[in-house]
Structure 1
Amino acid sequence: MANASATTTVAVAGRQLALSNLSKILYPETGTTKGEVIDYYSRIAPVLLPHLAGRPLSLKRYPDGVAGQGFFAKNVPNGAPDWLRTERLPAPGSTKNRDEIDYIVLPTDDGDALATLVWLANLASIELHVPQWQVGPRGGVRGTDLLVFDLDPGAPATVVECCAVALRLREVLDAEGLVAVAKTSGSKGMQVYARIKPVEWGRTSDYAKAVAQQLEREDPEHVTSVMRRSLRPGKVFIDWSQNNTAKTTVAPYSLRARPAPTVSTPLHWDEVAACRRPEELVFAFDEVLARAADEGDLFAELLGDDRPALPRR
């Protein structure tokens, strides 16, 4: 499939999809083609789709490859098939001053989810981003059910320093009854998540900010909870604002638009604790496929129905 140059029609979960320009190179540094990107997403789907299901998708598309101009796409693209699930939802913070946007929302247990994923990959939707809340099966916005801390290292700090902060975050969350999981961002940082019972919008931001400020007080030399870039050099910025309902975070198993096809990769905590060099936590898409085949979904903890209550601070 990756060597094809003409349009190719394939059957995916009972849907006929026309895939185009499969030999087009999307990652010039590695020669990775659009066909290979589609193949990655179709093969990683068993562990990826549960983390997308029910969450409105924000796409980062690179039709001319990662060396070209990319753009965020939230509204349903033109020419979308009529079987795609879409939901018109509020768009707080829209840069185009829209009150509502027609989002793509993957079904929770339908073969159309796989077909949707392949269709999106064919549009060079390299990055997949989702919020920390879901849409109900018949529409309507549910409360926030995920807590996230985005750890962003300010040079010369790296993901190694992020790991130390992530381990401390895990201790704090564990002491308050939350089970933390970690993943690389696929770029230079990492994220720590915990599942929670759905809560009203805003509570997770308040809680995450309080935790970030606690870690900053404990270790002001290495941690900051303040967004100002002038305060970040040599420190890890704990971005608690990713819990804002208008924001999204890159999904686990999503490719990133970096020079090489790296992936936002779920981690074992032992890997976090053992990291001594940044390259130890850089994973290309073929490595992530092998990890998933060997170990399953290391982010499965986030999918459980038995969700603890968000602690009050």
Structure 2
Amino acid sequence: MTLLFLSLAVSTLAGCGGTARNPEAGGKLRITATTGMIADAVSEVGGEFVEVTGLMGPGIDPHLYKASQGDVRKLDDADVIFYNGLHLEGKMGEIFEQMEKSKPVVAVASYLKEEQLITDPSAAGGATHDPHIWFDVKLWMSAVEVIRDTLAEKDPAHADQYQANAEAYLKKMEELDAYAKEQIAAIPANSRILVTAHDAFGYFGRAYGIEVKGLQGINTMSEYGSKDVSELRDFLVENGIKAVFVESSVSTKSIESVIEGARELGHEVKIGGQLFSDAMGDAGTEEGTYLGMVRHNVDTIVKSLK
């Protein structure tokens, strides 16, 4: 689909608008969310009163995602749209601008303060902040509160239920945050270095006390070259790092070239496991939920580095 065709489709659909449900009459709020992490949070807070459609499934890279005509229909059919913001869904900006003319279109990251964000002026795709806020569980709790308040405003008849669901979910997130801090702290200080294909774990590193190195920048739209590979290879060798990690939504080719480079210098590096960065795991698995995904990442990192 060409950009022109998609733009025309967006304009046409946004002008028509879907038929809104009436929650007070028993109809569920129709929610469309971009990432799995957001869709999961909406399902937890909305419970039986929402019908959630997620656009980006397991293994999908939101930085490079291009909306199809079917996605535009799902967005148009929604009563509320939630997306991350901070240029995570960089190629969908025009669509969101069109859709917000007819319905609430909410960036869950837009309510964070400047000092809470990690800044990277050199990032590709027009971004100036790291968008991977879900890897600091405390920050993601703010996103859940945004979802709670938006649902309550759109459907005040069930505001109390949204509040209760959010409180229960936030309590589980508090426990997860404490678990991550305890587990990462158990890794010896000189081994507390997380190396991945792209720099998605900056908030995780800041929140839980682990140094993070990525071959690519915060956005997979950014290119990496032989200089980046050689610099990361040298970092692994000089620091005696034994394990690096691949990501479910990023090709392993880039990190494998770093491992091979280290091997040529006589330093063996293994793949410590697969982490979920920009997408969750398969539906129906623990990793297919936000809480399970973060716990999986923590356990995988600790097992390989401890």
TM-score (norm 2): 0.31
Greater per-residue strand proportion: 1
| Greater Cα radius of gyration, structure 1 or 2 | 2
Greater per-residue helix proportion: 2
TM-score (norm 1): 0.30
